[in-house]
Structure 1
């Protein structure tokens, strides 16, 4: 039964829903319980979930068509040029973005040559690898914060101890490393990035 030469229903609907459930189970674990627990950044949760959902349905829809290698490479080139021009994305956030896109592509483009056991196994390997890296290998998560600093005389290399003591006193944080960025001698301010561990 069809309408305007388009079927109203076919068996691929059940495949799509089942694979989407598998996809969401692993994405919720990766995004909510791995990424968010270490970064505490809510602004990327919406982005990761929506990009992964759109990529899943986009790839599942395109799988119904005959794609040549050029079309497939072009599809991934679109993802490769995604940039957020308002705020630069940190390396870790970009890595998680690549992970959620990759997981969604695996779950949506798998065909009859790939069993459900292989699909779930691939997802488990990705999730387990992230868990080991986040929770076991790197127990302490290093955070960064940018500060506009006005005591410009303290940015000299020989006054590094005074700079660190002043910043620790003002921020109340135990600072591991300090990186001096842009310096404005007209306004007597400098942009400083501090690195500290998320003890909590």
Structure 2
């Protein structure tokens, strides 16, 4: 009977296969909530969806395989150190995107390595609490950010304190932003220009201007 379940010394199926299916389904559900319904809804950026999904799946499969093969802790840490040297050379990845990437990998590792010491209730709580906190931070507590940009302003006659409202109105008309505060920096009387720093709120720090 044992021989009929083997193919070239590899089992055709064992009980861990069903555990793999259940854990993979849990990981995929919570990854979808995090990636598709929180991250994508907030940023509308499709370019990172493929990356997040595939890293989630691959990290899960690697961890499940490492646990199944009972590879030592040292080799496991060495393998995940590879993730630490990954760089996206072709584009700048913001801290927020890297944080989402870390969360995706973290949940995948937890879901894959969960064993007898952790119940499904605890596993659902870990995933659910993580996704819930990400949602609350994105849509409740940190819904907008105060950003600052410095512009070179040529209407030097408007930088006087008594014309602050005129200066604000002119800057809002030019930039299309709702400005909260204005500070005057260096003034160049030879060129009739001044450095003006504007403060405004937006949901995306890079929504209106590129990084300085």
**TM-score range for the pair, normalised by the shorter chain length:** 0.7 to 0.9
Asked if 2 retains the 8 angstrom alpha-carbon contact of 1:56 and 1:108, the reply is yes
1:47 aligns with 2:87: no
Quick one: which of 6, 14, 39 aligns to 1:35?
Answer: 39
1: CA distance between counterparts of 2:179 and 2:137? 23
Q: Say what the alpha-carbon RMSD is for the aligned residues.
A: 3.4
TM-score (norm 1): 0.74
2: CA distance between counterparts of 1:32 and 1:92? 15
Instruction: Name the structure 2 match of 1:119.
Output: 123
1:137 aligns with 2:129: no
Cα 1:174–1:56 shift into 2, 3 Å: same
2: CA distance between counterparts of 1:114 and 1:176? 50
Question: After TM superposition, where is structure 1 displaced by more than 3 Å over at least 4 residues in a row?
Answer: 141-144, 151-154, 161-178
Q: Deviations over 1:28-72 (max 9, x none)?
A: 111111111222211111110111011111111111112222112
1:176 deviates by 6.7
Moved more, 22-31 or 68-77: 68-77
Q: Deviations over 1:81-100 (max 9, x none)?
A: 11101112100000000000
Asked if 2 retains the 8 angstrom alpha-carbon contact of 1:143 and 1:198, the reply is no
Cα 1:142–1:101 shift into 2, 3 Å: farther
Instruction: Name the structure 2 match of 1:188.
Output: none
1:168 deviates by 5.1
Instruction: Name the structure 1 match of 2:176.
Output: 172
2: CA distance between counterparts of 1:93 and 1:174? 26
Structure 1 unaligned blocks of 5 or more:
179-193
Instruction: Name the structure 1 match of 2:202.
Output: 197
Asked if 1 retains the 8 angstrom alpha-carbon contact of 2:66 and 2:76, the reply is no
Cα 1:111–1:92 shift into 2, 3 Å: same
Cα 1:164–1:102 shift into 2, 3 Å: farther
TM-score (norm 2): 0.71
1:126 deviates by 0.6
How many residues end up aligned between the 2 structures?
179
Cα 1:167–1:97 shift into 2, 3 Å: farther
Cα 1:153–1:121 shift into 2, 3 Å: closer
Instruction: Name the structure 2 match of 1:109.
Output: 113
Which is greater in Rg? 2
